[in-house]
Amino acid sequence: MRTEDLVAQVERDDSSDEEDFDFADGGWTEDQVFHEIALARTTGILDLSFAGLADLPDEVFNIKRLRVLRLTGNGLDSLSPNIQQLEELEVLDVWDNPECDIPTQIGELTKLEVLSVGPRCQLPSSIGRSRKIRQLAIGGNNLGRVPDWLFELEELEVAQLWGNQFTELPDRWDRIAKLNELNLAKNALTEVPESFGALRRLRLLGLEDNKISQLPESMVGLPIVNVRLGFNRFTSVPPVVSSWKDLKILDFFSEPGYGIYATAADDDGPDTDIEVADISASHLRKNSISTLPRHQVSSSLEDLPRSLQELPSLEVLLLHGNPSLQLPEELLGNFTRAGWDGSAKAILEYYFRTKEAGRPLNEAKLILLGWGGVGKTSLVNRLVHDRFQADEARTEGIQVTNWDVTLPDQQSARLNVWDFGGQEIMHATHQFFLTSRSLYLLVLSGRSGSADADAEYWLRLMESFAPGSPVIVVLNQIQRDPFELDEVGLRRRFPDIRGFVRTDCAAGQRGVGIEDLRARVVHETSNLPDLKVKFPAAWFEIKNRLSDMQENYLSFESYRALCRTLGEVNLAEQEKLAQYLHLLGIALNYRDDPRLRDTHVLNPHWVTEGIYAILNSSLLAAKKGEVEAADLLRILDSDLYPPERHAFLLDLMRKFELCFPYHDHPNKFLIAELLPKQQPTDIGDFIDESPALRFQYRYPVLPEGLLPRFIVRSHALSTDQPRWRSGCVLSWEGNRALVQAEATDRAVHISVDGPADGRRRLLAVIRSDFEHIHQSFRFKVDAYVPYGVRGRRLMVEYAKLVAAELNNMPHVQEFMDGEFYNIPVIELLNGVDLAPRTRTPRGKGLAKLAGKKARIFISYSHKDEKHKEALENHLKVLQRSGLIEVWSDRRIGAGDGWRGLIDRNLQEAEIVILLVSSDFLGSDYCSDVEMAEALRRHEAGECRVIPVIVRPCNWLHDSALKELQALPTDGKAVTEWENADTAWRIVSQGIEAAVRQR
């Protein structure tokens, strides 16, 4: 029978649909519900998840052969006793229907195998009569005690029992000995019963967020693969853990504010489809991280047993939030999209290596920030040298001072004090050196009358570049210019503030508040998590040798040779030490960029003074930011900055998006920070053109350098167009866009004009670049779409429009000039987005793109970088559509093995794009390695290879390439097209077709 006929039959059978059930706001339509009911009559599966139901239609209980009923995320307050009519039911999912009353008739479902109910639902004891239940999720129901009926379920294999306020467990677990997954997280347990030893099939055990301090000896030898014990009262690893030879994940994660939870604690509810043995990094990341509130942590691990090194399968060791172990944060690993990036083996090797021979580092970084003239240098002199000079010269760049202090436990520590110049032009370079886990002093004064705004600005920047770092706010020059701050409001918005101190260096013999500030600095220093991290003995020798060197820099190979000489021969440990030295500011090394990785900077002044000399050059100011290699010979001291090091400084500026090269003049760069401030006069008409497509970003603070950074990222589109410090004009595919920042309203305004067809594509490219920049900000950036009302523009928040669409709301209301206006949701969204978002009825109210993103790998010669950038600009349109994820070698991350990471991404790519030119074909690595491997995988059906001819060359002479369909049309090189945008548009369309066909 056709689907249409089934639906019609359901409708004929029902004489009172509207009286039988109701919808919650934002739910499905009645037709959608009955459509699913009709299909269920033949499939035996009915999924009404997130349908917005307040109760169920009676027709559901007439589907005699129904095997699966999913009701997650509705508004059901009870389940009908008619549930007993579903005699064939095997799966019942009533998750996320809070306080839903479960009838006793559920016990009549004798074939039920999977049941999930919660949270805060009443559970009848009759559940125990469903003896075939294998998977049970009743988390978050606040039961208070483990129900007796649980132990009647002798076939039970998976039990999700988290968040039920259990204070003790009955000693009856031998009754359900088939358990292979048990989650008791977020209860109030103090002990684990002996009968846990009878769970001889147990593979996953979740006990995190309880009050447990030991595990019974009866658990020796269990086949546990994944155990979670964080947020408890363990001071040592229970001995039985070392007997679990199958153990792959050992989790003592106890970092405040985070937690590791089983799948049932996820927002999506219980996940009964994941194999217990699935411990891949992606599964760990996807199903484990949660921010549910948790009990107070009363203790942490004090040591680790050597027996952990003897566990043959241990891969993941999570020890965050255990400061007594004195492990560096980098070693503990981070959670990324790919999963946990740490190494259990590396953690254990470092721990036992430093446990006996290591000693605390007792060295940290103190950073002073604030505008010029607020007295930062005077504060440093008072704190460190107890002196004051009224006519102190302003700091140019960065001044680094060593300050030896005595901690409260009488140990000595060294603070590397970094005093940043406050000049506006220098702010973009602060990101070179702002590192997390440092202590910050934000210095303000009342002279300008804008102390509250200044505090907001600097605290937002610190929050972005050094999240989680403690901050002391200094109200300086307080006697000369008294002022106050909204301290309560600032503490609420910025929880990393540790205190406010009032000082004045010029007042009295010893200054005012200096002793208070000194005491606060020492106190906060003693609490820095990395201060007591243990360093191996060889690392101290290396650090001291580097600190004593007179050279400004050395090659990374020279650094490695020094490490070998002083006893550190392990290459990975050498790189780890290099990272610590970078964070401390002792020796800078930017390992995340292939252009910079081979230079180890021993003297931070060498970097700052060189770059500041460039930024402050009157020569470059006269040339409006354009710099050529020959100019650096005139600007920089040749003794300190030999010509072979000029490229390093420029590449460092490129890394932080301060400049870009002219591709037609490889030795010529534009420093966007040095563009003229004056907006060109000939763009006024462009601003006022009414047909333009408009978009806006609003910021809590407008970071200095935001528009220059955007100009660098989008420079390929602004060639031969006006550029100035706070804006630019872009040209692409026959469209023009004006992008400009307005400091007064802390916003970026975007206007796009030209053929209506291409406006959204150019806007998509612009938004892609801004969203990339926004990723480095911790503060929220709001987007707005204008709507014309009576000749004025009413700004509507973009996120509000998206939420309205996802909840099937055709209009949203906005208020202006005393009136409410109904704003058409779809009309506005379709005007600024590439295509209407697609969503499925059971998408939990979230937009879902059809299909998985295709992974694209771009292989190219670096001499064709401008063509790679042009391609990436066009691919941004597909990226915003959710179709692709692009990888090229510029995405290599810190500490990654360069060639290894390239090879790995090449192996994982579904589509490999070859940018073919004579340089590409002549490159041993591009042609003989990357292209050869891509073609091998293409022949094996593992990926698709697309040659893109960027410059004329004899590519048809390559027998393998000529068998492939090259782009653009007929393999005509991009540079031979009259309009390059046309060629790249054809290329992007060909790639899109390949993605959709995969």
The pLDDT value recorded for residue 494 is: 92
Q: Is the pLDDT of residue 289 over 70?
A: no
Instruction: Record the tokens describing residue 108, joined without a space.
Output: 């009549």
Q: Is the pLDDT of residue 778 over 60?
A: yes
State mean pLDDT over 946-969: 85
The pLDDT value recorded for residue 846 is: 30
Q: What is the CA radius of gyration of the chain?
A: 32
C-alpha neighbours within 13 Å on the C-beta side of residue 603: 13
The pLDDT value recorded for residue 62 is: 92
Question: Residue 888 — pLDDT band, cuts 50, 70, 90?
Answer: low
Strand, helix or coil for residue 187 = coil
Cβ atoms of 252 and 299 within 8 Å: the answer is: no
Instruction: Record the tokens describing residue 163, joined without a space.
Output: 């968040």
The pLDDT value recorded for residue 892 is: 37
CA dihedral 928, 931, 932, 936 (to 10 degrees): 170
Question: What 3 state SS string does 396-427 have?
Answer: CCEEEEEEEEECCCCCEEEEEEEEECCCHHHH
Q: Residue 470, class by beta-carbon neighbours within 10 Å (0-12 exposed, 13-18 middle, 19+ buried)?
A: middle
The pLDDT value recorded for residue 26 is: 47
Stronger pLDDT, 145 or 584, i.e. the higher one: 145
Strand, helix or coil for residue 856 = strand
The pLDDT value recorded for residue 436 is: 64
Q: Which amino acid is at 151?
A: F
Residue written as token pair 């192996």: 907
733: left (phi over 0), alpha (psi -120 to 50) or beta: left
The alpha carbon dihedral of 909, 912, 915, 918 has a sign of positive
Q: Which amino acid is at 620?
A: L
Task: Give the range with max mean pLDDT: 194-203, 397-406, 652-661, 934-943.
Answer: 194-203
State mean pLDDT over 356-376: 84
E strand or H helix at 227: strand 226-228
Question: Residue 253 — pLDDT band, cuts 50, 70, 90?
Answer: very high
pLDDT tens-digit profile of 416-431? 898 876 555 455 555 5
Stronger pLDDT, 616 or 67, i.e. the higher one: 67
C-alpha neighbours within 13 Å on the C-beta side of residue 689: 16
The pLDDT value recorded for residue 685 is: 59
pLDDT tens-digit profile of 539-548? 888 888 888 8
Stronger pLDDT, 260 or 439, i.e. the higher one: 439
Question: Residue 895 — pLDDT band, cuts 50, 70, 90?
Answer: very low
Strand partners, 416: 365, 402
Q: Is the pLDDT of residue 249 over 90?
A: yes
The pLDDT value recorded for residue 578 is: 85
Rounded Cα gap, residues 575 and 537, in angstroms: 16
Residue written as token pair 């420093």: 671
DSSP string, 267-314: TT----SS-TT---HHHHHHHHB-----PPP--------GGGGG-TT-
Q: Is the pLDDT of residue 828 over 90?
A: no
The pLDDT value recorded for residue 277 is: 33
The pLDDT value recorded for residue 747 is: 93
Residues 6+ away with beta carbon under 8 Å from 877: 761, 764, 765, 834, 988
SS3 content of the chain, % helix, strand, coil (to 5): 40, 20, 45
Rounded Cα gap, residues 915 and 930, in angstroms: 12
State mean pLDDT over 194-207: 96
Q: Is the pLDDT of residue 552 over 80?
A: yes
pLDDT tens-digit profile of 201-232? 999 999 999 999 999 999 999 999 999 999 99
Q: Which amino acid is at 445?
A: S
The pLDDT value recorded for residue 757 is: 72
Q: Is the pLDDT of residue 270 over 50?
A: no
State mean pLDDT over 183-195: 95
340: left (phi over 0), alpha (psi -120 to 50) or beta: beta
Strand, helix or coil for residue 884 = strand
Cβ atoms of 148 and 125 within 8 Å: the answer is: yes
Question: Residue 257 — pLDDT band, cuts 50, 70, 90?
Answer: low
Q: Is the pLDDT of residue 18 over 60?
A: no
Instruction: Record the tokens describing residue 862, joined without a space.
Output: 């670096």
The pLDDT value recorded for residue 286 is: 34
State mean pLDDT over 766-791: 84
Rounded Cα gap, residues 876 and 855, in angstroms: 13
Task: Give the range with max mean pLDDT: 352-361, 466-475, 919-928.
Answer: 466-475
DSSP string, 951-984: S---GGGSTTGGGS--BTGGG--GGGSSSHHHHH
Q: Residue 84, class by beta-carbon neighbours within 10 Å (0-12 exposed, 13-18 middle, 19+ buried)?
A: middle
Report the percentage of the chain scoring pLDDT > 90: 33
Widest Cα–Cα separation across the chain: 96
Rounded to 5 degrees, φ, ψ at 647 are -60, -35
Residues 6+ away with beta carbon under 8 Å from 691: 753
The pLDDT value recorded for residue 955 is: 83
CA dihedral 439, 445, 450, 453 (to 10 degrees): 10
pLDDT tens-digit profile of 86-128? 999 999 999 988 889 999 999 999 999 999 998 888 899 999 9
Question: What 3 state SS string does 733-793 have?
Answer: CCEEEEEEEECCCCEEEEEEECCHHHHHHHHHHHHHHHHHHHCCCCCCCEEEEEEEECCEE
Rounded Cα gap, residues 71 and 27, in angstroms: 13
Residues 6+ away with beta carbon under 8 Å from 339: 280, 281, 282, 283, 284, 285
Strand partners, 115: 92, 136
Q: Is the pLDDT of residue 386 over 50?
A: yes
Neighbours of 350 (CB within 10 A): 20
Entry field: residues in the chain: 998
Mean pLDDT of the chain: 82
CA dihedral 749, 753, 755, 758 (to 10 degrees): -30
| Least confident range of 268-272, 279-283, 918-922 | 279-283
Cβ atoms of 591 and 578 within 8 Å: the answer is: yes
State mean pLDDT over 434-457: 85
Among 950, 939, 941, residue whose Cα is nearest residue 986: 950
Neighbours of 735 (CB within 10 A): 24
Question: Residue 592 — pLDDT band, cuts 50, 70, 90?
Answer: low
Report the percentage of the chain scoring pLDDT > 70: 84
Q: Is the pLDDT of residue 6 over 60?
A: no
Strand partners, 913: 858, 946
Question: Residue 263 — pLDDT band, cuts 50, 70, 90?
Answer: very low
CA dihedral 114, 116, 122, 123 (to 10 degrees): 20
Residue written as token pair 């309203």: 745
The pLDDT value recorded for residue 604 is: 76
Rounded Cα gap, residues 443 and 473, in angstroms: 6
**What is the CA angle 684-687-693, rounded to 5?**
160
The pLDDT value recorded for residue 684 is: 58
C-alpha neighbours within 13 Å on the C-beta side of residue 833: 21
Strand, helix or coil for residue 902 = helix
pLDDT tens-digit profile of 504-515? 998 888 889 999
Rounded Cα gap, residues 64 and 21, in angstroms: 20
Q: Is the pLDDT of residue 752 over 60?
A: yes
The alpha carbon dihedral of 898, 899, 905, 911 has a sign of positive
Q: Which amino acid is at 992?
A: E
pLDDT tens-digit profile of 291-331? 334 444 456 899 999 999 999 999 999 999 898 888 887 78
E strands, 516-656, where? 534-535, 553-555, 599-601, 626-628
Rounded Cα gap, residues 130 and 807, in angstroms: 37
Question: Residue 272 — pLDDT band, cuts 50, 70, 90?
Answer: very low
